[in-house]
Structure 1
Amino acid sequence: MNTPRTSFHGVALPESQRDILGMIATNHPLDDILAAICLMLDAQDPDTRCSILLTDAQGKHLLNGAAPGLPPEYSRAIHGMLIGPQEGTCGTAAFRRELVVTEDIARDPSWERFRGLALGHNLRSCWSLPLFSHQGCVLGTFALYQNRANRPSEAQLQRLTCAAQLAAIAIRHERDGQCLEASEQRFRSLFTYNPNPVFALDLAGNIQSVNPAGLKLKPHTAIDFIGHHFSHLVLEEDLERVSQHFSAARAGAPQRFEARVLDESGKLLTMDISNLPIMVNGEIVGVFGIARDISEQKHYERQLSFNASHDRLTGLLNRVSLEDRLILDCHISRRRKRRLAVMCIDLDGFKSINDSIGHYFGDQVLIEVAQRMTRQVRPGDTIVRMGGDEFIVLLPDLLRDEDVVPVAERLMASIARPYCIQGIDLHVSASVGITLSDGHIEQPMQLIQQADMAMYKAKQQGRNNFQWYTSDLNQRVCEHASLRNDLQKAIETQSFKLHYQPQIEARTGRVVGIEALLRWAHPEKGFISPAVFIPVAEDSGQIIPLSLWVLDTACAQLRQLGEQGITGISMAVNISPMHFQRGQFVQCVQAALEKHGLRGEQLELEITESLLLHNAEQAIDTLHRLKALGVRIALDDFGTGFSSLSYLKRLPIDKIKIDRSFIQEIATDHHDAAITQGIISMAHHLSLTVVAEGVETASQVDFLRGSRCDIFQGYYFAKPMPYAEIEAFLSQPASHP
């Protein structure tokens, strides 16, 4: 079917739905409506292609309804598909009367007949929902195809369900309309047997006859209807409009409209009413009123509209509705010359609830959070759930900027109160970002971005606080984003280098190890310190591929040193806490060793005390598994963290590295000297080797050697150097003082 593509790009889902419901209400051709629904969903996801198939008259085959995004050859091939248990995704969905998900067409046995054709058109996965009539009969199927093997996300399932419901409404509406048209042609027989109420009215609007279905609108017999004006059936608020439609039909123009009536039990019904002129010998002598109860459909449409604009879990507005509300609030602030506050609220500690005791408890917390927040704001304020545990609060019509402070404090206090879910006390807090405006802003959604920046600042400030958006914060965020993009390019092009710093044995002056240090020379910005880009990589998750590259490169170059006859040294590699906590970390280390033919004892992994802050038991277990490979473990930056010393005796480590902050003034500051001597003594009593970092002067060397420090590392002996230089350095037979 060649249907002109209607652009839905840039149109929010509720507006698209309203357009389609408008097409249904104005009786557009079904083909156009179904194509519009497909295009609406295609526009939401460029990787998605939609297909609507309709059952044939016998209910045994599926025929093309709409598929503007699918190749015509493919659509022609599946036209007439059987409905059965192994007939692709759509045939199976129609047969089983339920959602069917085919993750990979290439491997699904039900796709045997169409697999080659589908794969030839790059269709790899298919998810299909059956469409039902009011009576529960299968009307057809609604399917989403993707060009990769995939399972639908919750959001994709929601879009699929929403679009399928629209398609079912359109098909039902079309078929109901066909029934009404047939009733006009065969009204004599249908008058009696029609399940919908049918009234024959004279030109004054008095009821002349009524069918059995119409009698159910009011109790007793036809006597209660005959001779009475139709106005006693219609709700008073709708009477004027209904009378206008009656007058138009009496003048010869068929009418179709909706009106509300009360049934015999007093229940309010919404009726789809057709007024048709009664022609006798070419003269209009009355009007037929044919009513169809669409109360359930209207309720469903209202629910559909509500669900499109509201969060199903909490009942709050969702992010789809945010922009319209924000634009309205900006207009209010401009008109009244008041202030608008936008708050971005993110829950602290919520993820641990989901991870530890399950999403049910997390959902219950979110529901109560929404209720508590609603009680703390004014009726005209807006709360939006953006998704997950993030909320936006819009406070228009503020007299002063500081008026937002008590609201933020109330919200934070209400959120911080304990939550008792099935007898379990749960606790969360809130990090809040605030931005203010007078409403004069070209792009109101920028306020959301500003509040989000401020919220992240609140997270960085220790959580459970609120922070204000400032222009310099925006600059820092932009710089952060730019650096993150540059970092990704550097990862993809492997633009990093490893430099190596020797580790010198204090007793012999011999090099016993080298530490791999990551370096990044940006093509435009020059050398960028690891202290700048490593936190960005940790925050974005880019540290994982970066850490894997460092591990692989360090092992490869240690093997190269061995091939040059340089042996007897270990390679120290710093480990990211995020990478360490990943489930496959030990396997990654083992794979690197095996790939480059290294023994475990040739590799030394440097960890920090921060690994123990989240899940100490899991960290200790991972360390034991690494030790089982023969890998050595060094505790880096010792003395600068906050972990308990009680863990130290349990850690399967080989070395302690004293942080350079204690070494710098060791020869002149008796506090640094005492701390360093204490660390060395404690480590030796625990049978641990001690490495001093940042050794730069002879006086530091003398003090550390006198304190029985085992290994030195610092500029006094050698600076970090690229591979070619470290190879030359290690090839020298000389020892070091």
Structure 2
Amino acid sequence: MATPETLNEHQPATALSEHHRLLIVDDDLAVRMVSRLALSKAGFGVTEASDGYTALSWLDSHKFDAILLDARMPGMDGFETCRKMRDQLNGDTVPIIMVTGQDDDESIDAAFECGATDFVAKPLNWRIICQRLNSLIGAGVVKKHLKSRSHQISSMLKTSSETMLLLDGAGVIQGTHQIERLPIGFRAQMTVGNNFFEILDEESVQLVSTAWATSQRTEECESFIVDYRQDEKQHTVQGRFVPGAEGEWLCLLQDQSALFSCEQQAFELEFKDAATGIANEKQLLSELGSRLRECRDTNTHTAIIRFSATDLRSFEATIGRGGMVKLAQAIVERLEIGLESYLTRLQAETLRPSHLIARLCDSDYVVVLSGLDSFEFIEELATLLLRRLSTSIDLDEHICGIDWTAGIADTLDAPPTTDGLLSATAYAIYSDCALPNGYRVHRYNSDLKARVHHDIEIERLLRRDIADGVLEMHYQPKFDLSDLSLIGMEALIRWNNAELGFISPAKFIPIAEKSGLIISLSHLVVEKVLDQIAAWRDEGYKSVPTSINISGIHLNTRTIVEELRAGIQQRRIPPELVELEVTESIMVDGVGKAFKNLNELRDMGIRVAIDDFGTGYSSLSYLKDLPADCLKIDRSFVQSITSDPTAEAIARAIITVGHDVNMHVIAEGVETAEELNKLAELGCDSVQGYFTGRPVSSCEFTSFFEGARLAG
């Protein structure tokens, strides 16, 4: 254990000459250093102790005006140290302020039970602490000198910033000192002969009378607070009753308006969203935790609705930071009006829930509803609020249309904890299911959680298997319709995972796009396909173009042109043997890196095909401007081409216009001879599908080089 002698080297040289001596007890060296700097700057002399035993040793040999004591320390904690200090002080009323990181009733009660004078919660606000220390030390001086009214009270007042009222046993004012320090309106009637309690307003009388009665019963100092409004300005006066001599009492008053305003500002900075004034994430977590505990005690339930905007940040470029603040305020206003309007309309027999609106982050807002007996109206409320939010906001001549998704979670289906409920809304928002009402309202349940966990597992395994290169390529042949000769093939990725078995591309490709794995997957596909083209060439098989499906994300990268050029040159592959299949939407945009990259790739000799044509923008007029060589008629038209005149007409139009702009037209998804014949009749150039050949592994595909066809 450290001794006073060993600690003394850490004390500032001027500590012993300062007016007020403080003992700081904390096991954290950094906290002690910050404390010493802050309090020394405020004019206090500071002595440090790193544990309770050292503090007691200092107290045995030195006098201190106040003690700042950490509640949580190893060994002997602050509560036990406080008890021993009170025993050692033997009735001396040195103020002991307990510093605790837990601002709850249990910690507060424990602090006062062990003899603490006051408590403060971490993180520490040194301006407030210095105010409290001055007040407590001043009050301590008052109590020590009560027996000598004249000299002793006069001496005390010289070091105190408080106003003093001298009261008799009935509360009648017998004398005043430094009355000018109180607000004018509040002090106007505080003259000798008036009863102090008759001066107060009705709201303050009960509180002050209770403190007076307690102080008379215990003969201890008892504090109270009085709020006073003057000229539309709120004043807060803090007071305490102190037993005096010969049946008289001291009422010490201090205008704490600036201090309480500072505390209010500190609270708002810590717990309020700066842009909107509603609760921020910190207050949301604290308030939600309190409500969940209350609901457990009252056997009621809590639900939260989380609204998430997908494109909110995109508006900053046009409306600026000031506009973003106004946009956030408009969003909150819509939530507040919509929520209040709906809750007002609830039936009389329905318990009106307690509610809170909070801003979780820039794009996410949360509505908390607690004290619920049922959740029957939650989805209706979420839909109503979502409809309000989805209406465009007219802001400074800019129209902001925002896409919102709502996630609902409640304490019946989700874990009844703060993190559990918020995580459940995230599960709901990022799921792929939606209500049929046209609005994106998702509700959490156990099935949804299972699906999301399954997707997470797929993502984990996909990431691993892409890195290990274990995914395989299958190839589907393409045939010329005039003589059914092999003219090419499409490379298709297949994944047979060791743990989950076969996983459809329709399942894992969207997960790859959402998780950012799509570029790595696309790299793997390109490398495997180029290797296979070179291998078939070296084995002497017929060289025909191979199509590779490229995602828009990969096509927008800066390096795709050089990657393909290097891969083709390294393997000495003619560029015309490589064909990239891209979606119609990428082609129609006509902007961005993708369109430029396609033009450069075509200049290299690589062919470009528009996949699933007719299912996207379906405009034939733009075909002449697209960097493409081939149109693929979507299987949805092919499958009904023999039975649906509309599908036949669309297929005929695609073939005709495609030929007019010198594009090769291929139909995919051919499954019957009737479909094959109809496409030949319409003049389609080539086909692929289960009727002519299913996708197979590279080993099995060699039969198509040898003349196999009509594998259906």
* Common fold by TM > 0.5: yes
- Residues 280-679 of structure 1: pairs in structure 2 closer than 5 A: 287-302=249-264, 304-305=266-267, 311-317=273-279, 319-320=284-285, 321-322=287-288, 324-325=290-291, 343=305, 345-346=307-308, 353=315, 357=319, 360-361=323-324, 362-378=327-343, 380-381=352-353, 382-385=355-358, 386-393=360-367, 407=381, 410-411=384-385, 414-428=388-402, 443=416, 460=434, 464-465=438-439, 469=443, 474-475=446-447, 477-494=449-466, 495-504=470-479, 513-558=488-533, 568-580=543-555, 585-594=557-566, 597=569, 601=576, 603-611=578-586, 615=589, 617-618=591-592, 620-621=595-596, 623-624=598-599, 626-627=601-602, 631-664=606-639, 674-679=649-654
Q: 1:275 to 1:214 in 2, by over 3 A?
A: farther
Residue type of the partner of 1:532?
A: K
Residue 363 of structure 1: how far off its partner (Å): 2.2
CA contact (8 A) 1:34 1:65 kept: no
Residue 212 of structure 1: how far off its partner (Å): 3.7
Q: 1:725 to 1:179 in 2, by over 3 A?
A: same
What SS does the aligned partner of 1:645 have?
coil
Residue type of the partner of 2:664?
A: T
Mean Cα deviation higher: 527-536 or 248-257: 248-257
1:260 matches 2:226: yes
Residue 173 of structure 1: how far off its partner (Å): 0.8
2-structure distance, mates of 1:576, 1:268: 63
Which residue pairs with 2:661 in the alignment? 686
Unpaired runs of 5+ residues, structure 2, are 3-21, 52-119, 143-151, 345-351
2-structure distance, mates of 1:66, 1:704: 92
Which residue pairs with 2:99 in the alignment? none
2-structure distance, mates of 1:722, 1:211: 99
Q: 1:443 to 1:504 in 2, by over 3 A?
A: same
Name the Cα RMSD after superposition.
Answer: 5.3
Residue 685 of structure 1: how far off its partner (Å): 1.1
What SS does the aligned partner of 2:521 have?
helix
Aligned length: 586
CA contact (8 A) 1:639 1:659 kept: yes
CA contact (8 A) 2:291 2:370 kept: no
Q: TM-score, normalised by structure 1?
A: 0.63
Q: 1:261 to 1:420 in 2, by over 3 A?
A: closer
CA contact (8 A) 1:657 1:690 kept: yes
2-structure distance, mates of 1:693, 1:703: 13
Residue type of the partner of 1:420?
A: D
1-structure distance, mates of 2:496, 2:623: 37
CA contact (8 A) 1:609 1:635 kept: yes
Residue 652 of structure 1: how far off its partner (Å): 1.4
2-structure distance, mates of 1:416, 1:198: 57
Q: 1:296 to 1:220 in 2, by over 3 A?
A: closer
Which residue pairs with 1:270 in the alignment? 236
Deviations 1:560-611 (A, max 9, x none): 556666685444221234554x5xx242453354366457655432112243
Q: 1:667 to 1:262 in 2, by over 3 A?
A: closer
Residue 636 of structure 1: how far off its partner (Å): 0.5
CA contact (8 A) 2:458 2:508 kept: no
CA contact (8 A) 2:477 2:688 kept: yes
What SS does the aligned partner of 1:376 have?
helix
Q: 1:259 to 1:448 in 2, by over 3 A?
A: closer
2-structure distance, mates of 1:67, 1:577: 62
Rg larger in 1 or in 2? 2
CA contact (8 A) 2:292 2:302 kept: no
Residue type of the partner of 1:587?
A: T
Q: TM-score, normalised by structure 2?
A: 0.64
Which residue pairs with 2:166 in the alignment? 201
CA contact (8 A) 2:669 2:690 kept: yes
Q: 1:568 to 1:284 in 2, by over 3 A?
A: farther
Which residue pairs with 1:158 in the alignment? none
Residue type of the partner of 1:499?
A: H
Residue 491 of structure 1: how far off its partner (Å): 1.5
1-structure distance, mates of 2:648, 2:230: 95
CA contact (8 A) 1:274 1:289 kept: yes
Which residue pairs with 1:173 in the alignment? 129
What SS does the aligned partner of 1:641 have?
coil
Residue 711 of structure 1: how far off its partner (Å): 3.9
Residue type of the partner of 1:368?
A: E
